[in-house]
Amino acid sequence: MQKTAYSRPLPVPDSESTPFWDGMREGKLMLQRCASSGEHLFPPVTFCPGSLEIPEWTETSGKGEIFSWIVVRHPVPRDLYADEVPYVVAIVALDEGCRMTGNLVDVAPEDVRAGMKVEIVYNHVTPEITLPAFRPTGS
């Protein structure tokens, strides 16, 4: 039986982001790193802010901790998210030092805490697109 088509906004990969989305699809968190400063970068850029070098792509651990989060209870647009609420969007401070965004899964919204240890989960929503999500590591 054919699955219902995915009906929520999808990313449009571009020249800066294609390695990130390719990595997601393959189950790898690929991030940019500035060779001179050593800083990891998210979202992707063409020039490293400050050094203005061309960043290199590198596979990262996918581990970090909750920096901030929201619990969406009122769906907007309603027709797209009425069946999804409540859901959690988080900013995660990755162990590599930069922050990134993702949904938070496998945890009740009221149990989320700042500093909670999380790891990446790959949310395969279409054959082309895998969205980043995070779940508590339990430690």
Partner 1 sequence: MFKLSDKYAIAGIGNTEYSKFSGRTVRSLATEACLKAIEDAGLTVADIDGIVSFNFNDSAPAMGVATEMGIENAGYAVDYAAGGNGANLITLAATAAIEAGLAKNVLCFRAMNGRSGFRLGGGRDMSAYGVTQYTAPLGWITYPQAMAMWARRHMIDYGTTEEHWAEIATTFRDNAVINERAMQRTPMTKDDYYNSRFIVDPFRMYDICLESDGACAVVITSAEQARDLKQKPVYIMGGAYGGGPSQGDDLFDAIRWPSHSHNCFKYLADDLWGSAGIGPKDVDVAEIYDCFTYSVLMALEGLGFCEEGEGGPFVMGGRIARTGELPLNTHGGLLSEAYIHGFNHVIEAVEQLRGTAGARQIDGAEIALTTAGAMTCGSAMILRN
Residues that bind partner 1 (CB under 8 A): 8-14, 17, 42-43, 49, 67-74, 76-77, 81, 84, 87, 89, 91, 98-103, 109, 114, 125, 129, 131
Closest to partner 1 by CB, 27 vs 49, is 49
**Least distance (Å) between residue 100 CB and partner 1:** 7
CB neighbours of residue 89 within 10 Å: 14
Which residues are 113's β-sheet partners? Answer: none
Q: What is each CA distance from 24 to 51, 64, 65, 87, in whole angstroms?
A: 27, 17, 19, 21
**Least distance (Å) between residue 109 CB and partner 1:** 7
Using CA atoms, how far apart are residues 49 and 28, in angstroms rounded to an integer? 24
**Least distance (Å) between residue 139 CB and partner 1:** 20
Closest to partner 1 by CB, 63 vs 85, is 85
Closest to partner 1 by CB, 69 vs 107, is 69
Residue 116 contacts residue 65 (beta carbons within 8 Å): yes
Closest to partner 1 by CB, 1 vs 110, is 110
**Least distance (Å) between residue 11 CB and partner 1:** 3
Number of residues assigned to the chain: 139
Using CA atoms, how far apart are residues 75 and 79, in angstroms rounded to an integer? 8
